[in-house]
Amino acid sequence: MNASTPTTRLGAGRYLTAAELPTNTITSTHELKTSDGATVTGVLRMLPGCDTVVILMHPRQDLTHHVLVPELVARGYAVWTQGTRSTNNDLNLIHEQALLDVAAGQVFLRDKGFDHRITLGHSGGGTLFAFYHQQAGLSPEQRLTTSPSGRPVDLPAADMPMPDGAVFMAPHPGQGQLLARLIDPSVSDEGDPLSVDPTLDPFSEANGYHPAPEPSAYPAEFVDRYRAAQQARIARIDAEARTRAADANAAHRRFKSSADPADRRAALAPRVLTVYRTDADLRFTDLSLDPNDRPYGSLFGRRPDLTNYGLIGFGRFATPDAWLSTWSANTTNADFLRCAPGVRAPTLFVELTGDQACFPHDAHAMVGALGATDITHTQVAGTHFGGSLQPGEPTGASLAAVDIGDWLAKRY
């Protein structure tokens, strides 16, 4: 059961060199139905006789080839990687619906007879699982019945088995809180991706920016104004999202009582938000802000002054429902700090010392908010996605795998 033979997974950056699975690994794929009728798929990998399963999920990414999979299988644990209904297309990512996707996997694994089910949330998977633990731990009548936009989501009727443990690896505080730090408040016209208020431009030398790769040095006064302006931009988009969601809900009500084709079309017509420039956290270029071992640059690249203007970015396109459920720090229920008190199972929190999304004060606050009495907090050298800090050094993922394996072995 040696997991040391390397094989290259997709691309670079977020995708790391992973180990080969042990040769006697049993791999099976499964299609599941959620309680509200959606279809989700998962992959189960295990060695004969495994009685503990580790579950890897993310609300918007495919984790089938996550670098930890062979590491954990080689240590004798089954690994279940599952997608949500929004994998690789989060245009309409409703986190409350994603909990029904998580629940379908938990039911499947419970019914497979595993003695222990352990959630492992990496990055955005951390808040997804914290949210699940919180809701699963409530009595059915206490669970949410709607998303923030008013969309019905019947969590009370869902079978939501409670996991036996929780592992968090480089969890960020939630996609809403993440975007609140990343969004560029200098956008002066939401319809123009090049519009700039120069007094808030994070890539203007007049405001403390230095051309890459020289670290910037933003004055405290600018940092305060910038962060207040970020909150104000989120609030403006919230208002637009609520208006569009209300229009859509009204159209749906008309559709239910009308045969007019115009009402039917109005109920189906998308009301998508386009949110430009969401890769502009000041900490990407000013490494003195919330200092840790992170390299210069963002999660998307080494030149946030350029990637901020690109097509790819968090929350770039979202329905009003998705914005209010996932991307708005003001309205989302999927917020790690708010959900963490509901995480009461034994918990391991692995902090990456060069993380670009979970900074030291975040990690301290998140660990402090957890509701478990059995909490282990470790730190390993690495970047957010589990890369190494320096060429030739062990990857953060490989170091995290050791801590996770040791923690699991002591309890399960």
Closest of 158, 159, 166, 229 to residue 198, by C-alpha = 229
Q: What is the pTM of this model?
A: 0.93
Q: Which residues of 175-201 are buried (b: 16+ CB within 10 A; e: fewer)?
A: bbbbbbbbbbbbbeeeeebeebeeebb
pLDDT of residue 3: 37
pLDDT of residue 353: 98
Taking the C-alpha atoms of residue 52 and residue 54, their distance in angstroms, rounded to an integer, is: 7
Could you give all domains of the chain from N- to C-terminal order, each with its CATH number? Answer: 6-174+332-411 (3.40.50.1820), 184-325 (no CATH)
pLDDT of residue 11: 30
Closest of 166, 178, 81 to residue 131, by C-alpha = 166
pLDDT of residue 10: 28
pLDDT of residue 14: 52
Residue 265 makes CB contacts below 8 A (sequence gap 6+) with none
pLDDT of residue 17: 62
Contact 87, 93 (CB under 8 A): no
pLDDT of residue 198: 98
pLDDT of residue 369: 98
pLDDT of residue 266: 79
pLDDT of residue 255: 77
Count Cβ atoms within 10 A of the Cβ of residue 4 and give its class: 0-12 exposed, 13-18 middle, 19 or more buried.
exposed
Closest of 195, 217, 50 to residue 118, by C-alpha = 50
pLDDT of residue 1: 35
Average pLDDT per block of 10 residues along the chain, 412 residues long: 32 58 97 98 97 97 96 97 93 97 98 98 98 98 97 97 98 97 98 98 98 96 98 98 89 77 78 96 98 96 96 93 98 98 98 97 97 98 96 95 97 94
pLDDT of residue 265: 84
- Give the number of other Cβ atoms within 10 Å of residue 348's Cβ: 24
Contact 154, 363 (CB under 8 A): no
